[in-house]
Chain A
Amino acid sequence: MEQTRQKTFTCQLCGLTSPYSYYGQKPPNTRAIVLLEECYVTKDPFSPDKEKFLVLGSTCSLCSMCVCVGSDCSLFYTKRFCMQCVNKHLDQFPHQIQTELAKKKERSKAAVS
């Protein structure tokens, strides 16, 4: 049975909203697959197979902000971090991630100007 009110996920950074069907680490029909964080999950609308799931987002492990998994909003590195927290603690992330983020910043700057 469907619930009458739809549960909606909203990213507090970019505002992306989407209905979700499951919250937790073990979405239905995933068998051996386990999520390493509590996630907002929906059925993957882009997969021809209706059993596939899609993770929309989760909460930042530091500030508990609800963020989407988009690379502009959050990053997963053993845990979920919102971009604000990542930037605050950038020095603690491995240099691979630091350079990657720096490059991305460069690119978006170039796109704006």
Chain B
Amino acid sequence: MDSDGRRDRWDWDSPHCRAQLDEVFFRKNDYIQTGSPEHREFWAFFDRFQRFKTKKDMCGSVGARGRNGDRDEERKVKGKTAKVDLGLPVEYDARYRINVSVCTRDIEERVGKSEHRSRQRSSGPGDQEISDCRLALLHFLDFNQRQSFGKLAKLRREQKNLPIFQYQDKIVELVRRHPVVVVAGDTGCGKSTQVPQYLLSAGFDYIACTQPRRIACISLAKRVSFESLNQYGSKVGFQIRFETTRTIATKLLFLTEGLLLRQIQQDRTLAQYQVVIVDEVHERHLHCDFLLGVLRTLVAERPDLRLILMSATINIKLFSHYFSSAPVLQVPGRLFPIQVIYKPIPPEEQASRSEKLDPRPYLRILQGIDQRYPPEERGDLLLFLSGVAEISTIQEACQVYATHTQRWIVLPLHSTLSLAQQDKVFDISPPGVRKCIISTNIAETSVTIDGVRFVVDSGKVKEMSFDPKAKMQRLQEFWISRASSEQRKGRAGRTGPGVCYRLYAESDYDAFAPYPVPEIHRVALDSLILQMKSMGLGDPMSFVFIDPPPAASIQTAVTYLKEQGALDSHGELTSIGTLLSQLPVDVVIGKMLVLGSLFNLVEPVLTVAAALSVQSPFLRSSQNNPDCATARQPLHSNQGDPFTLLNTFNAWVEVKGERGGGSRKWCRRRGLEEQRLYEMVNLRRQFRDLLKSHSLLESEKNAASDGDRGQRRMRLTERKKLHQLKRDHEQQEGSKRKVLKLEEGHDGDMSSGSDTEETSRRKKDKDGPGQNMDIQEVKFKLRHNISELQEAVTVSQDMSSRHQALLKLLLCRGLYPQLAVPDEHNTNRKDSDQVFHTKNKQGVVIHPTSVFASDPEVLLVPDDGVSELGSDRRDSSKHQLLAFVTLLETNKPYLSNCVRVPALQALLLVANSMDSNADCARLVMDGWLEVELRQPEEASKLLSTALSLRGEWERLLLAQLGQSTEMRSAAQGVSRKTMEKLSDRLVRFLLYTEVSYSLRRLTAFQTQNLYIGPQPESELFQGKPPDLNSLFPGAEVKPHPIKGGLRVTSFFTYNCLADSKDLYSECLRTFWSCPNCDLYMPLTPLERMQHEASCRPAGEQQQTGEEPAEGKPGPSSVSSLSRVYHCDVCNKDLTLTSTEILKHKRQHK
């Protein structure tokens, strides 16, 4: 129909011509739009389609256009003679197989008209071109439909093939009929993904499904929403610490166990859920055991709540019994047969405790595999070892073998590796080469690697245990349990039949414990007990745990919480304890946050608290790399590790502000795992929000939100773009796995530190443009306002020494009682042999990653400041203590994350128990540190300053907390001025106290005979009845029932130390003149302190000019410090301040 001439002018390859067709088919509102990925795909498809058609035409297929009508008639007639006529066109056309049509008549007409007008010179599309394009489009749409449907059908087939599939109805029925159901099935049976879907489709709404690991929450939510074809809907979501996809429409929520517990704290009956699924209960994590206990009570209260426990087929009876014999549904797993070979290590190759692991047994297995199995038969090896040191030993040996044979790629796997390195285990090895993955027990449950055919099980695991006596965590090596052993073995049979080599005897296996020790028996229970208290669960001792923890461990936690001030002496929550129970962090970190909110130190405290709550960003593997060490140097602070972390974070934020994505390289140079910094910035934000929600922090300044409209719009467009990038990333995520190179194993350790320009460029080329997008950077930009962050960071960057001192004090008070004292002989020891002591554990050392390990000198008492008084008394004003975050024993007990503080000042301000002798020159702190001052006057002066500082600090803290709990509308609980005054005084006390003293740890003998003990009053006061109340206004001063002496405040007991002299012996009185008033008289230290407590410099005086005339009752506005005093000599009732009482009594002498 078209002239050949015109056809010649139409060029399908010309972008111009295609653009004209785009105008017809791919307009702005069309199903496929010009410029979209589908649009590009279409034209690529078009080319293929055209080629296919030409080929077909050449093969002689007859064009059927236009002639169908006649044939149709013919057919219909024929049909009638048969049974049923389907009315099908006889002439076959692939077009008839497509159930879609595209109507573009409106446009065609318009185009047609314009073409008509300018027929002569037009090169626009004719009917033929349009119909060609339409046909291609129809086939394209059909092709896409077929592809997607194919994927859907495959998905459904896979679901159907899961072992759990045939139990779908049974599960739903059980859940309908019973409040608690146990579903037990081994890895691969599909319970985690399918059970929630079965319940959803059975009509259950509001389902919570807990997971022990955050990563599982994300991946399960993704998988399930995908399987339920709801990938972009919001019915399936997850909620973890920093991220949630939950909306009001969410019907199935994957969340961590800890988070569900937090929700119970807010919503005691969990009214928001109809069904709660607790997955992986067999792993017996602390939170999970506790959660089960809480749910057990809840089930009784809420008969409508459905609870499903999902477990591997381990110890199922335990769970069923705990929930009054709940029905159990056992689903067979889907494992291929696995051959077990016991290869116990011969005695001569068994390493003794101090030695390195002997790699020979492991190498023999690699060799054996190479001999027995042809390299074409794929299948990787997974080797379980107990710890990082063991892994690197074996890795080294295997690498030598691998380099020699060229048949292995050796990859380590443990949690302290960078995430990029961890991720390598999922990459594919080239043909003829096997991966040899050497892992801790992380690959037992947390990480699942497909394609493993061989498992080597050392039978060992390193597990954390808690020593309540030393208040210390301990990482020890144990034999694994039979359950773990089976779990490890199972890793060989996920994708095909496998082999499991056990490096122990079958008799060993039989002697293993059946199950691993549940976490609740191994860890400190502080946070757990705190949470129980805040949930009003009563006495932790009587709570019905599935497997109760030892009573001693609960007791230790209660004592610790009392020491921390979170519980009062009756074991009830204090106001700070209430707040701490709501912070999802360690008690010590929570305390820091609360303390930081009081002073102007929120920003640095937020950073430090966040930094101490995540794994260290400093990669261990880079520590020995000299380039990294040099690059890290400027980040180090010899004030302590928290300061190094603070510097690092601040520097990183600065780099992010200047260079955005360039921060990745910056981190690599310094051997930093950037992921941890991202975690820190998220956590920091969460802490800030928490403090705000408890009114401990002023709400956002509104300056940042404004800005002119243009800027806002720009930010909005940027956000849109970022969201798109994030979506794109999620799309392609997991779709490509890299193929490993043979040399991959060697550079493992080195590459993380020194990434040269060259390698990063090569990487870019390989991935192609656009692929190099840093998803973390995108998420970071979406979540945080970099300029705000930079502002916050600047605050803590150029910290004055005053701020630094105050921050150290806050950290120390937060970390208290985690304090360590340097051994007195450290000066004479090598740098590497510096020894420290905590109250409960002697002879601990500083972890090699700590700044004090490389710079221990700053902890030594400088020689010039020391005056030797006999052999073991070293007086100095420069004694220091270490406050530390963790005490962990591996091969030695190590302190990590330490900060140094001036000893005496810190102790006076934070110690829970201070005991003195009569002249206060000898002080015993917390029953283990003895301080002796040479000048008693200085001692009592210091003490009284400390008492007053602590009193004021406590008052402000309570005001701040009280304000937050009572939700008063006052802008700030504590006025800025009062707060600044206090911080000023604290700083002065910390920095300018120049008193020489000795610091000593008490010996066991000394601690036994520390106190004089209770005395009869007559003896104590030598018959002279003292007016105790007058000595300490406001405080209830009474004899201490155990220690003896006088209990002045909750933390200070006067004159109770065994060598003490009597309270009122006149010889202790010395003449003293008060710097603030004209008082000059002989006073005991106690009287002097008491006077100082109530006598302030003129400026500070609270009741100025209100000195009531002697003997006369004061005016109606009597200050709180004065009270009625009955003088026996005058026989009169007088309203006097304590000082005045003293003065008055002196008159009668």
Contacts and interface: CB of A to CB of B under 8 A. Distances in A.
B29 interface: yes
A108 to B, nearest CB: 14
Contact of B99 (A17, A36, A89, A94): A36
Interface in B65-88: 79, 82-88
Interface in A4-41: 5-6, 8, 16-19, 29-37, 39
Contacts of A37: 99
Given A18-B156, A77-B88, A94-B92, A29 B31 contact: yes
A33 B101 contact: yes
Contacts of A76: 96-99
Contact of A36 (B30, B101, B201): B101
Contacts of A31: 29-31
A58 B89 CA distance: 21
Contacts of A95: 92
A73 B408 CA distance: 47
A35 B100 contact: yes
A49 B151 CA distance: 16
A44 B233 CA distance: 12
Given A34-B100, A49-B38, A70 B153 contact: yes
Given A16-B153, A78-B88, A97-B92, A33 B148 contact: no
Interface of B: 25, 29-31, 36-38, 79, 82-92, 96-104, 141, 144-145, 147-149, 151-153, 156, 201, 203, 226, 228-232, 235, 249, 727-728, 731
Contacts of B91: 94
23 contacts: A16-B156, A18-B152, A18-B156, A31-B30, A32-B31, A32-B103, A33-B31, A34-B101, A35-B100, A37-B99, A45-B231, A47-B144, A47-B148, A54-B145, A54-B149, A56-B152, A69-B149, A75-B97, A76-B97, A77-B88, A89-B83, A91-B82, A93-B86
* 9 closest A-B pairs by CB: A94-B92, A45-B229, A96-B92, A50-B232, A46-B148, A76-B99, A48-B731, A36-B99, A78-B96
A97 B104 CA distance: 30
Contacts of A69: 145, 149
A55 interface: yes
A92 B201 contact: no
B31 A5 contact: no
A17 B157 CA distance: 11
Interface in A40-89: 42-52, 54-56, 58, 62, 68-70, 75-81, 89
Contact of B89 (A30, A39, A49, A78): A78
Contacts of A51: 31
Contacts of A5: 203
Contacts of B31: 29-33, 51-52
Given A16-B152, A56-B149, A92-B85, 16 more contacts: A18-B229, A19-B230, A31-B29, A32-B31, A33-B103, A36-B99, A46-B147, A46-B148, A48-B37, A48-B731, A49-B37, A49-B38, A76-B99, A78-B88, A94-B90, A94-B91
Contacts of A42: 229
A2 interface: yes
A77 B103 CA distance: 19
A49 B103 contact: no
Contacts of A6: 201
Nearest to A47: B148
Contacts of B85: 92
A2 B250 CA distance: 11
Contacts of B203: 5
Residue with the greatest number of chain A CB neighbours at <10 A, chosen from B82, B141, B149, B151: B149
Contacts of A80: 99
A8 B99 contact: no
Given A36-B100, A80-B99, A48 B148 contact: no
Contacts of A30: 31
Contacts of B79: 92
